[in-house]
């Protein structure tokens, strides 16, 4: 099947699933043939275009339809995100750059939460489009600096806020913070906020980071474009000594306030729950430095 045929079948199927009465038309009574679903003319009416214009799209003969037009079609035909993606691929040859649902990426299904919590011996977590932690396992929590006599816990639900604004992150946990972390992470934040300007959490973080005397000047730089974290390795300290299988003598203190931790490098392996565009699933692979370097 070529793209034209696939596009035609997708649109015809979606039209057939919607009754004209769902769009406010009166229910037909009396004799006569009753067609199921929406006609091309009715779809065109809802799109405020001519029937010929819509028919060109359905036949796969419209040259480079605009993203706005395709999104309007997806809305009128009540497409879910995977169907909208297929619409873009069949009509344009590529997937949509951003999800249609403004709430996409803010939650994941219960099975993901269970899967993350069952992972043992490997730090992993899921964050939403604004870097709020949706799920994480104990190994992830134990990576963070630990204060003596306290139970390990997430220092901040929003990882972006923690990475850029928390003194512990900047001074203790994230090694060479400005060069290895802040420049790349602020570039990610700029891109996410541009893509989701109406997300209230991103609005708040944007203001906080921009106003911060340390992170703000870095955030306002635009010479570094978006840096995708998948496969990136960055230096940091890992406080979960027991889970690393490292001798305590090979650990050191970042400062007098925290328990000993291990210096090393973390590589981020990233994936996306496909039903939640914008969210991210992370495996964090930590490699300690050699004992002679861990000081």
The DSSP secondary structure of 236-289, one letter per residue, reads: EEE--HHHHT--GGG-B-SSTTS--BEEEEEEEEEE--TTSBTBEEEEEEEEEP
Q: How far apart are CA 31 and CA 26, in angstroms?
A: 15
Look at residues 272, 195, 188, 264 and name the one whose alpha carbon lies nearest to residue 233: 264
How far apart CA 227 and CA 233 sit, in angstroms, is: 12
* pLDDT value at residue 35: 58
Angle between helices 67-76 and 81-92 (to 10 degrees): 140
Model confidence over 209-228: pLDDT tens digits? 999 999 999 999 888 887 78
pLDDT tens digits along 131-164: 999 999 999 999 999 899 899 999 999 999 999 9
Domains annotated for the chain, with CATH where assigned, are: 3-92 (1.10.260.40), 110-288 (3.30.450)
Can you give the pLDDT at residue 28?
A: 59
pLDDT category of residue 107 using cuts at 50, 70 and 90: confident
pLDDT of residue 9: 95
pLDDT reported for residue 29: 54
């Amino acid at each position: 099947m070529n793209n034209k045929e696939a596009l035609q079948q997708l649109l015809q199927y979606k039209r057939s699933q919607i009754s004209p009465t769902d769009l406010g038309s009166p229910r037909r009574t009396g004799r006569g043939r009753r067609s199921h679903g929406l006609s091309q003319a009715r779809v065109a009416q809802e799109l405020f275009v001519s029937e010929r214009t819509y028919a060109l799209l359905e036949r796969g003969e419209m040259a480079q339809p605009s993203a706005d037009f395709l999104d309007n079609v997806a809305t009128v035909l009540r497409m879910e995100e995977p169907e909208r993606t297929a619409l873009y691929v069949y009509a344009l040859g590529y997937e949509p750059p951003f999800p249609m649902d403004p709430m996409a990426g803010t939650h994941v299904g219960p099975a993901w939460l269970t899967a993350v919590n069952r992972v043992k011996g490997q730090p992993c977590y899921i964050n939403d489009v604004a870097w709020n932690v949706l799920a994480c396992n104990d190994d992830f929590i134990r990576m963070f600096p630990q204060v003596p006599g306290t139970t390990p816990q997430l220092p901040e639900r929003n990882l972006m806020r923690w990475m850029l604004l928390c003194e512990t992150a900047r001074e203790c946990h994230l090694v060479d913070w400005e060069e290895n972390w802040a420049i790349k992470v602020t570039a990610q934040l700029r891109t996410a906020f541009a893509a989701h300007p109406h997300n209230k959490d991103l609005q708040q973080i944007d203001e906080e980071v921009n106003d911060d005397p340390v992170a703000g000047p870095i955030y306002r730089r635009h010479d570094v474009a978006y840096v995708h974290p998948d496969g990136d390795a960055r230096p940091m300290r890992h406080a979960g000594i027991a889970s690393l299988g490292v001798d305590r003598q090979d650990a050191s203190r970042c400062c007098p306030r925290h328990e000993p931790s291990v210096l090393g490098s973390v590589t981020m392996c990233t994936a996306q729950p496909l039903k939640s565009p914008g969210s991210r699933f992370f495996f964090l692979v930590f490699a300690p430095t050699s004992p002679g370097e861990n000081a």
